[in-house]
Structure 1
Amino acid sequence: MRRVVCREFADPERLEVVEEPDPVPAPGEVVVEVEAAAVAFVDGLIARGGYQLRPPLPFTPGSAVAGTVAGTGRRVAALMPSFGGFATHVTVPADAVVPVPDGVGAGTAASTMEGYGTVSYALTHRVAVRPGERVVVLGAGGGIGLAAVDCARAGGARVLAVASTGDKRRAALAAGAEAAIGYDDLKDAIRAHTGGGADVVVDPVGGPSAEAALRALDAGGRFCVVGFTSGEIPRLPANVVLLRNRTVVGVDWGDWSRTDPAAARDLADAVLGRIGRGELRPPEPEPVPLDDAGRALRRYAERTAVGKLVLVP
């Protein structure tokens, strides 16, 4: 087998690829021959030591994979219980794998486990989005953002996408947004496009755009804090939350999935089922060779990636 190894918390381009004997499963485990491993913004943070979780060194990044169960050919996807996904073979608990429906590629399965899992958790466990509500998605050209556009669209919401480049805005429109805008004069732009204010904001970006979007919420609006890809954690003013009965909700899918892995598995199974039935329409991820894992993580850090990237052996 081949796997990516992080020996120190540093620039992800210092990651190494090593060759080792194929893993042998312990009782209750299976070996998955990886066809695609999801790459996420958070993987780069972890490799640099900039995340709240700091795994013991050395370690292999990667939290979601898809492929076949060795010896059976059964197509599955899995969330890794403690990283390790950037490899050609992984061992996972047998009860952690979910079937990949016919017609769903390995890249799509792997890349939706975290992104669509996060958004589905946000829109089912943290807030409820009703048909016809106005949902604003910041960072709408990234993996989480595109998943939020798609999930909100599938739920009958009217989606306004906010993204930094023309390519990202076009990707959000293709995913189902009714309109797409940039970050200039964000509060007024959101109010203008939503007819007075948004019902829900999904924010994986943070930074100065967060407060502007919070101020653009209508009465009773809900603001979902998903992440800080801008690198800046905003300080949201409590008086703006109080005014008009707004709500700020944290969305930590990672903590929830580690605390209740069975529920996270069921949610992932449901997401893949909806993709298989055509209810959700994730864009095809871009494949990247396993040896280029560091460069893939840099693209996320520099915010030049559109949509999702997956590593392929």
Structure 2
Amino acid sequence: MALRIAINGYGRIGRCFLRALLASPVRGQFSVVAINEPADLESMAYLTRFDSTHGCFPGTVEVGDNCLRIDGTDIPVFHADTPEGVDWRAIGVDILIEASGRYSYRHELQRFLDAGCRRLLLSHPGHSAGDVDQTIVFGMNHELLTGDERIVSAASCTTNAIVPVLVMLDEAYGLDHALMTTLHSVMNDQPLIDGYHHTDLHRTRSAMQSMIPVSTGLARGVQRMLPELAGRIESKAIRVPVVNVSAIDLVVTLRRGTTAAAVNALLRAAVDGQGSGRMAYTDEPHASIDFNHSPHSAIVDGGQTRMSGERLLNLLVWFDNEWGFANRMIDVAAFWGARMK
């Protein structure tokens, strides 16, 4: 029987999740039974059909009676602004994809469960490790899922991109310290022109005119996944004026010496060996736009690998922060669903 999926929050990740699911080979394992989004139905249909980043929807999208009719299938749409505003129990939701980003504390997420959702899969980290039952980076620790969990986080796009790389380096050479600088595409918490848009004054500045330093929880997220690195890893982030595709500039000190060629050979072999499609390797002369709509969590750019001495390593890791992450959420949902009782 198909797993009954609903989406709460039909913004960038919510729409990418639906599009990616409809194009996925595991599509038959799921039935999308509801979408909750405060926006009006006509706007939802329009932005499903036309996407400035990922192109036109390849199927049909129509407005039905309080529903989106996608490829001839009606998906009921609700416009509630609270977890209790939808009778999830009556709909029969096996997994709610929480893509609004508004809820990260356990007591907030519990409200969805109390309203009838059997389980939640978050498109963002929980506020703390205790706010979720598991935080999953698919391909790294997804086998921890038993099916008994009620609230699971798919971590973040940046965590999914960098954790596999750190694990490979640590296993091969040992990691002493690491510094990650995320060069992230613009997001909806930034204005197009300067304005009173955010309590973080950096985010009051025009998104499309400057590179803007912002706060990031990437180091905390990585340490949540790799507690052995606690106290030895730090991060910062800069928003850059592109609409999609981000990169992580990673600097690590290794415990055992190596060369740039050896590191590239290691990462290339690891990518070839896993056969999952979640990571990729390239040494071609790329620009960020080349990775738009990439389903990978990370693409290691071997052409940018640098060593200073034998232990100071610099890597560049690209990722489509929308499409790649949406595909990992599908992976988590499919694996988790297969283990549910």
How would you bin the TM-score normalised by the shorter chain?
0.3 to 0.5
The TM-score with structure 1 as length reference comes to: 0.33
Larger RCO (CA within 8 A; separation ≥ 6): 1
